Structure 1
Amino acid sequence: MASHRLASSQAVTKSKKITFNHEKLAQQLFYLGLFLYLVALIVPGLPQIIRDSAYLIVTFTAGYHVMIEGFGDTIKQTQIKHRFTPNIHILMTLAAVGAILIGNFSEAALLILIFAAAHFLEEYAEGKSKREITKLMNLNPTEARRCQANGEWQLVPVGQLKIGDHVRVLNGDQIPTDGQISAGQAVINEAAITGESMPKTKTVNDEVFGGTINGNQSFTMVVTKDSQDTVFAKILQLVQQSQSDLSQTATKIKRIEPIYVKIVLALFPIFILLGPLAWGWTWSTSLYRGMVFLIAASPCALAASAVPATLAAISNLAKREVLFKGGSYLTNLNELKAIAFDKTGTLTVGQPAVTDYQFVAATTEQTAAWLTILTNMERQSNHPLATAIVSHFNQQVTTISAEEMTVVNQVGQGLTADYQGQHYQIAKPSMFVTVPRELQQAQQAWSQAGKTVIYFAENSQVVAAVGLMDVPNQQAAAAIGYFQRQGITTTMITGDDLKTGQAIAQQLNIDQVVANVLPADKAAVVSDQQAKYGLVAMVGDGINDAPALVKADIGVAMGDGTDVAMDVADVVLMQNDLSKLSYAHRMSRRLSKIVWQNIVFSMLIVLLLVTLNLIGRMDLTIGVLAHEGSTLLVILNGLRLLLPLRK
């Protein structure tokens, strides 16, 4: 069947025109054969010789591609591997020729028709899965408006763009490559990259991605990456690789198939000889049942057990922004025993946020005034903690102009400002000697919880404390809970101190924390876990995670992370959403279950048909219908993986 072979992408590219013509001719001949078969079957009064001639023509028209692949591929693979390497198609061809030799023209035609139809349907099923994945490729940018030396804009192929080129993007255009906006602003749909349905507003110096769609404004951008290094290009590489990399089960079936076919071919003459000699059949009956044996023992359903199902599962995940580099990684996920997570940007948001704040006892008006001053001072700082404070309190306070309050950023000492005759300071706790007891207690409690604390003082008197930390990702807790319910050990690997790591781990209920880990040592932690547990996955997003991602049996990169992490990982979550990883694990388990259902079912059908043939309860027509029907059931069972999994 079609699933027994996957041509390399390079070979397909080189022979695209030839392949297309061959397939078109095969389909036309199949329909011609189907028409002739129906004519010979339905039209009354036809002389038997005309009817048999029509069936003979049907066999060689509808079976054109079956015979080509049967003999042609067998000869080709035998020459390449320097040993006899038959395929399933040759069994069907021999069975049809044998049926003709003993005068069963109608059954030979029916065998070829049904086998060819199943062949086309299997190719369609695999093609459907691939089309679901490769829809993304239609978004690949091809042209760009580049600024020439004379200041004119010229339409050029994207491949000609170089780093530093200036490119004009008109409203509604596809952004041709990765870069930074140098002039103008835009509202950009980044769904192709991030999966986010809401457009994002971008302005000067903001990063834009190739393959995304510009809104209703035009802008100019500077190219920052070669076309082959863009985020979109890396996604395409993952997609293409996922289609050519078979699962372990599919690979084993592919290796076993020629051996199985050789065994069937070896048993075929023995079967025919044993008929008259051991079981008392006539030579005619023995030859007929030999033809049925070739059909019944053919592993068509077995060959279709894994590939359509694997492609369907990969397709399902791709639509949910989870990209696997190949089916082998998806099947391996089912065997996962432990999973390690980088902390920052993976289990956490990756940016600090205000979690607590407290003022000394004062009137509501005084507290509001202090909060306004604190926020306005932080507005004039670009420190991540300042950004978090402004983001948290911005809607609660009014704006104080820079003329009214001048803020001074003293390196190592924090911020100071004078406003309405008072002096204010924002700094870390160690900068203050005298602190109110209630704020000291708050600071100690928050620090124990792994939070960063800053004080706000008026005239050197501390009047407020603010606690901040990199908070857990919203989806992380649910994902951790899922993996633990599956008996998979969860570990956090962090360069932070143990106290900070444990604070996050307690919120997420992670099994264990490995803290104070230098970037170079993360891979060693993964190696230790492999020795202790078995198959281990590593989830990370940064350059410092790359060695650990490579060392792990399955490396998972967060899509918002670095290019390096995406390059070395086996799986990419295009959104920083760990619930998608738990979905992928569920899909892996479902894939394994369906593939084994298919394998067991296909072998039981073979055993049943061979047994019925031996006891004389099977003819060629029923054998064809049962055998090819089982193949179609196996394919349809695999295609169930295109459907969303139930929660």
Structure 2
Amino acid sequence: MSSEAKSLAKGIQDVSFIEKIKPHAELVAAALSGIFIAVGWLFNKYDYGADSIIAYLLAFVIGGFAKAKEGIEETFENKELNVEMLMIFAAVGSAIIGYWTEGAVLIFIFAVSGALETYTMNKSHKEISSLMELQPEEALLIQDGIEKRISVAMLQVGDEILVKPGERVPSDGIIIKGQSNIDEAAITGESMPVAKGDQDEVFAGTVNMTGLITVQVSKTNEDTLFQKIIQLVQSAQSEKSPSQLFIERFEGTYVKAVLAVVLLMFFIPHFLLGWNWHESFYRAMILLVVASPCALVASIMPATLSAISNGAKHGILVKGGVHLENLSHLEAIAFDKTGTLTKGKPEVTEVIVRDGVEKEHLIWITASIENHSNHPLAQAIVKHAKRTIKQELIHPDSLEDVPGWGVRAEIRGEQWKIGKADFVGKEASEAFADVLAKEIASQGNTLVYVQRNESLVAMLALRDVVRDETKVAIDDLKKKGIYTVMLTGDSEKTARAIAAESHVDQYFAECLPEEKVEQLRKLKEKFKTVAMVGDGINDAPALALANVGIAMGEGTDVALETADVVLMKNDLPRIAEAIRLSERMNKIIKQNVVFSITVIMLLIASNFFRILDLPYGVIGHEGSTILVILNSLRLLKTRRQ
């Protein structure tokens, strides 16, 4: 190898090493500072005074550079003093009166707490970094029957890509060939794979578990749901909560007050209490250290970031600390019905056939006819047939769609009519299963009648069914004392049945979008903090009006733009989970604030009564900062119920 090549290789290795060590720079600086403090102490012990001071100075510069730079830049930018400046003043003041060791230890512990705080921030961003690494850089493009590896950034809408078992899906798209189980944990937080086949949607970053699938790209790389999630959480982590904003506003005033009291302490104890000048200056330096609100300032932001990251990991995306704070204060929640409390699609709930008619054969014939219609009720009947019988559907000999009424068809010489009561004969339909039909209809079902050769032979009942988890989720919220309301555009009869089945406290039927907004406004007058839960599209006005708008995402990027909180999987119990996360966050923040204020008051009092030395003041102050950060890190730990 030539000398130039060796030099280039060495340069690349050096750059790689620097990149690896960069995230740990503050910790490395703190460690070096500690080493120089130890060296300075040894020099001082063996009477190498000048060498000792040089070692301490190096500890000051190396350990304090990052925080000093940050403090000075923020002071110039905001025209406001901050806690970093207080620490610099205290360390320099300690050195001036000859307490080199104490000043250096102050810088060292301050550097350690700063490194720990940076670690907390990096830890909270780790979920996003790991997400970003999940999306493949290349895709297997199929063009004119030829497979070609290209960069994901080059994919266009409409391109067809091949995704093999074990590979990650490179882009959002629709499966046009094949079927597989897809692990969507990166998007929804759900660990169980989802079975997907023809015309099902798949998302970038998810894992193709079993089968070979061909996907038609539906979005460019920058518009994928995956990228939008990353952008949303990054934005949320940069948005400050009301508590954090208050602490930051309070910090500037508090720092000025501390400096004013420190200045007074230079003189008042000397003249009123008889302290000598050295004692007065020494106590003023200790006050400068212990009165600094470092722990108070660090009480909120690490906790908020940790909670947001924890939620994102489990498919609960919160758009900022303010919304996460509000979740624990909820007094009422309004739910849209369709797609939120219910599955959003009709299902067959009852099939009643005339005596002498074979039920399976009837369902098979009905599904074969309805298979040629795109109507939601028709598709529900077909889905029911495919799930309950194993017979291939057939094509009718003739078929006529009668819009608004139903469909008539001929199969093997028999004439069939499927549709509304009036379409098959009102009198005959009223007589068919008379009492039972009224009871089924009162439960919110839509009735579809089947006629064969002018004789009514069956009645099918269909309705949008309540999700399996809805009752559990609503009951969980009610246990927390939260009032639950359902808002729906459905009829009074359907709304009453769904409300009873889902266990909500109150319901409002036949609501247009503007009426939902009006009902939500009335709820806000009655309750202090109200949330709205919807699908993020037609419920947008109500979501915007609520104190907290919660969208049931189910992988839709529309939901990301309309609500304050997005549940990436339509899983209602995650609302209670998000509330518990909010309660944990607020509890930990309160613990941090109370603890930090208590420590500051105790240290100030101990200093005034001259029972606190500078080293212990440094340890007490910086130790409390480290403890509140460690306490905040607990929010990264999952506690799901």
User: Normalising to structure 1: TM-score of the pair?
Assistant: 0.88
Partner of 1:37: 37
For the structure 1 residues 70 and 286, does the alpha-carbon distance in structure 2 shift closer, same or farther, using more than 3 Å as the test? same
1:93 and 2:88 correspond: yes
What secondary structure is seen at the aligned counterpart in 2 of 1:544? Answer: coil
Partner of 1:337: 331
Alignment of 1:320-359 (within 5 A): 320-359=314-353
Q: Deviations over 1:418-442 (max 9, x none)?
A: 5566544332223322247561111
In structure 2, distance between residues paired with 1:54 and 1:32: 11
1:392 and 2:384 correspond: yes
Equivalent in 399, 419, 426 of residue 427 of structure 1 = 419
1:516 and 2:516 correspond: no
Q: How far does residue 64 in structure 1 lie from its aligned partner after superposition?
A: 2.3
For the structure 1 residues 632 and 511, does the alpha-carbon distance in structure 2 shift closer, same or farther, using more than 3 Å as the test? same
Partner of 1:8: none
What secondary structure is seen at the aligned counterpart in 1 of 2:306? Answer: helix
Q: How far does residue 568 in structure 1 lie from its aligned partner after superposition?
A: 1.8
Residue identity opposite 1:426 in structure 2? I
Alignment of 1:526-541 (within 5 A): 526-541=520-535
Q: How far does residue 451 in structure 1 lie from its aligned partner after superposition?
A: 1.0
Q: How far does residue 103 in structure 1 lie from its aligned partner after superposition?
A: 1.0
Question: Unpaired segments of 5 or more residues in structure 1?
Answer: 1-16, 79-84
In structure 2, distance between residues paired with 1:604 and 1:400: 75
What secondary structure is seen at the aligned counterpart in 1 of 2:461? Answer: strand
Partner of 1:13: none
Equivalent in 608, 619, 632 of residue 613 of structure 2 = 619
Q: How far does residue 521 in structure 1 lie from its aligned partner after superposition?
A: 3.9
Partner of 2:118: 123
Partner of 2:639: 645
Q: How far does residue 132 in structure 1 lie from its aligned partner after superposition?
A: 3.0
Equivalent in 551, 565, 588 of residue 582 of structure 2 = 588
What secondary structure is seen at the aligned counterpart in 1 of 2:55? Answer: helix
Alignment coverage as a number of residue pairs: 622
Q: Deviations over 1:261-304 (max 9, x none)?
A: 11111111101111211111111111111111011101011011
What secondary structure is seen at the aligned counterpart in 2 of 1:336? Answer: coil
Partner of 2:127: 132
Which stretch has the larger CA shift, 94-103 or 393-402? 393-402
- Give % identity: 42
Which stretch has the larger CA shift, 266-275 or 48-57? 48-57
1:311 and 2:312 correspond: no
Equivalent in 105, 109, 112 of residue 107 of structure 2 = 112
Q: Deviations over 1:545-579 (max 9, x none)?
A: 12222222211111127533321211110000011
For the structure 1 residues 95 and 163, does the alpha-carbon distance in structure 2 shift closer, same or farther, using more than 3 Å as the test? same
**Is the CA contact 1:250–1:306 (under 8 Å) kept in the aligned structure 2?**
yes
What secondary structure is seen at the aligned counterpart in 1 of 2:437? Answer: helix
In structure 2, distance between residues paired with 1:401 and 1:28: 70
For the structure 1 residues 93 and 23, does the alpha-carbon distance in structure 2 shift closer, same or farther, using more than 3 Å as the test? farther
In structure 2, distance between residues paired with 1:235 and 1:395: 35
Alignment of 1:60-209 (within 5 A): 60-78=61-79, 85-144=80-139, 156-167=150-161, 169=163, 172-182=166-176, 187-200=181-194, 202-203=196-197, 205-209=199-203
What secondary structure is seen at the aligned counterpart in 1 of 2:539? Answer: helix
Partner of 1:9: none
In structure 1, distance between residues paired with 2:44 and 2:101: 15
Residue identity opposite 1:57 in structure 2? L
Residue identity opposite 1:253 in structure 2? I
In structure 1, distance between residues paired with 2:457 and 2:283: 96
What secondary structure is seen at the aligned counterpart in 1 of 2:510? Answer: coil
Q: How far does residue 72 in structure 1 lie from its aligned partner after superposition?
A: 3.8
For the structure 1 residues 436 and 513, does the alpha-carbon distance in structure 2 shift closer, same or farther, using more than 3 Å as the test? closer
What secondary structure is seen at the aligned counterpart in 2 of 1:539? Answer: strand
**Is the CA contact 1:182–1:221 (under 8 Å) kept in the aligned structure 2?**
yes
**Is the CA contact 1:86–1:258 (under 8 Å) kept in the aligned structure 2?**
yes
Partner of 2:251: 257
In structure 1, distance between residues paired with 2:320 and 2:82: 24
Q: How far does residue 411 in structure 1 lie from its aligned partner after superposition?
A: 3.6
For the structure 1 residues 358 and 216, does the alpha-carbon distance in structure 2 shift closer, same or farther, using more than 3 Å as the test? closer
Question: Unpaired segments of 5 or more residues in structure 2?
Answer: 1-16
For the structure 1 residues 459 and 178, does the alpha-carbon distance in structure 2 shift closer, same or farther, using more than 3 Å as the test? same
Which stretch has the larger CA shift, 137-146 or 446-455? 137-146
Q: How far does residue 606 in structure 1 lie from its aligned partner after superposition?
A: 0.7
**Is the CA contact 2:555–2:569 (under 8 Å) kept in the aligned structure 1?**
no
In structure 2, distance between residues paired with 1:353 and 1:577: 19
Partner of 2:538: 544
1:46 and 2:46 correspond: yes
In structure 2, distance between residues paired with 1:526 and 1:641: 32
Q: Deviations over 1:104-144 (max 9, x none)?
A: 11111211111111111121122212213442122244444
Alignment of 1:430-449 (within 5 A): 430-431=422-423, 432=425, 433-435=427-429, 437=431, 439-449=433-443
For the structure 1 residues 70 and 320, does the alpha-carbon distance in structure 2 shift closer, same or farther, using more than 3 Å as the test? same
What secondary structure is seen at the aligned counterpart in 2 of 1:434? Answer: helix
What secondary structure is seen at the aligned counterpart in 1 of 2:124? Answer: helix
In structure 2, distance between residues paired with 1:44 and 1:548: 70
1:635 and 2:629 correspond: yes
Residue identity opposite 1:30 in structure 2? A
For the structure 1 residues 573 and 395, does the alpha-carbon distance in structure 2 shift closer, same or farther, using more than 3 Å as the test? closer
Partner of 1:402: 394
Q: Deviations over 1:21-50 (max 9, x none)?
A: 987665444322211222344689621514
Q: Deviations over 1:306-356 (max 9, x none)?
A: 111111111221111000111111001122232211110011011112223
In structure 2, distance between residues paired with 1:332 and 1:160: 42
Residue identity opposite 1:319 in structure 2? K
For the structure 1 residues 412 and 537, does the alpha-carbon distance in structure 2 shift closer, same or farther, using more than 3 Å as the test? same
Q: How far does residue 526 in structure 1 lie from its aligned partner after superposition?
A: 2.5
In structure 2, distance between residues paired with 1:555 and 1:20: 41
Q: How far does residue 163 in structure 1 lie from its aligned partner after superposition?
A: 3.2
For the structure 1 residues 504 and 104, does the alpha-carbon distance in structure 2 shift closer, same or farther, using more than 3 Å as the test? same
What secondary structure is seen at the aligned counterpart in 1 of 2:174? Answer: strand
**Is the CA contact 1:325–1:570 (under 8 Å) kept in the aligned structure 2?**
yes
For the structure 1 residues 188 and 641, does the alpha-carbon distance in structure 2 shift closer, same or farther, using more than 3 Å as the test? closer
In structure 1, distance between residues paired with 2:551 and 2:96: 60
Give the aligned CA root-mean-square deviation in angstroms: 3.0
